[in-house]
Structure 1
């Protein structure tokens, strides 16, 4: 199993919006997670469940997920300004998948990380442009 899959799934699951699996740099998040196969993670129920436990229940996380969790507030605050196009693309894939197949989990993630939906409001233009229907959040 590729350890990098954990880093990416967390990002995508996080907000089922534009969450991005990456680590912090000065101007742009690192690209070390760019080649993660997010589709295989989303389709593997065991991996997905482990990522969500990390995110929602603060269960044991691998280092890549822990690193990502540290950056979630900044990602939300800046509408992922430091995210690469690849991060945004992968985030969009996961967001759309999660919203279609696991909307209850999306709500739990949003309730934990954006309970007032401030992120959704702040980033609504970018989300809509990405094809993410924010009215479902």
Structure 2
């Protein structure tokens, strides 16, 4: 073998070794990322009440008013009312980050209904849960029907 062939062989071997090491490093990084992601899934609120028929509640004041009274500390709370009340401020402040997709859709439906059809209650709830109006304006802008 001549000198040129030896040099080419040497650098080819180094390049192949570097590629193998780089691929190994990429695989290790991907596995670490998957492990971290699986060990720290995004926490969500309980989905225990995701199957509640919101339309039935929103269309029936006899069903709706007890939930509102619960939220305003003016009445007893059902188990689902307690769960909502426990998480309402965090959920609204952070755009329902921990909500399931069903809860995100339901939250907007409820807020839209309160703003447009039960505005006095919306105002009371807004004063209670966001007296400085840090986040309710965002919902009012998005969900008010014109």
TM-score if structure 2 supplies the norm length? 0.62
The residue aligned with 1:75 is 91
Q: CA RMSD in A?
A: 2.7
* Greater RCO (Cα-Cα under 8 Å, separation 6 or more): 1
Structure 1 counterpart of 2:71, from 37, 49, 55: 55
Question: Which one of 101, 104, 112 corresponds to residue 85 of structure 1?
Answer: 101
Shift of 1:57: 3.0
Runs ≥4 residues deviating over 4 A: none
Asked whether 1:97 is paired with 2:113, we answer yes
Structure 1, unaligned runs of 5 or more: 1-25
Unaligned runs of 5+ in 2: 1-41
Structure with a larger share of its residues in helix = 2
Rounded to whole Å, the distance in 2 between the matches of 1:88 and 1:77 is 13
Q: CA offsets, 1:72-128, max 9 Å, x none?
A: 23213322110122111111112222222111111111011101111236xx3xx48
Q: Which has the larger radius of gyration?
A: 2
SS at match of 2:114: helix
